């Protein structure tokens, strides 16, 4: 069996320079395994993504109602 060398979430974000290029938007690197049958990390990543989307929708709805007032 070949030992797999995976980058940590922190190493990925550093390699992609996410703090620099995504400084003004939400971003998240979720550790996960492509070979894990359990989907480890996938649910957490989707939970984060859905919470960001829902927050954005709520903010837009709130700003739309402020304009109507």
The pLDDT score that the predictor gives to residue 33 is: 80
Question: Rounded to an integer, what distance in angstroms lies between the CA atom of residue 1 and that of residue 3?
Answer: 6
Tens-digit pLDDT string for the chain (69 aa)? 455 678 899 999 999 999 999 999 999 999 988 777 788 888 899 999 999 999 999 999 998 776 655
Question: Rounded to an integer, what distance in angstroms lies between the CA atom of residue 67 and that of residue 64?
Answer: 5
pTM of the shown model: 0.69
Q: Cβ(40)–Cβ(33) under 8 Å?
A: yes
């Amino acid at each position: 069996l070949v030992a797999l060398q995976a980058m940590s979430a922190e190493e990925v974000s550093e390699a992609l320079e996410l703090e620099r290029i995504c400084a003004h938007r939400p971003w998240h690197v979720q550790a996960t395994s492509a070979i894990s049958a359990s989907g480890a990390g996938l649910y957490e990543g989707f939970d984060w993504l859905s919470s960001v989307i829902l927050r954005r929708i709520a903010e837009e709805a709130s700003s739309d109602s402020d304009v109507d007032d």
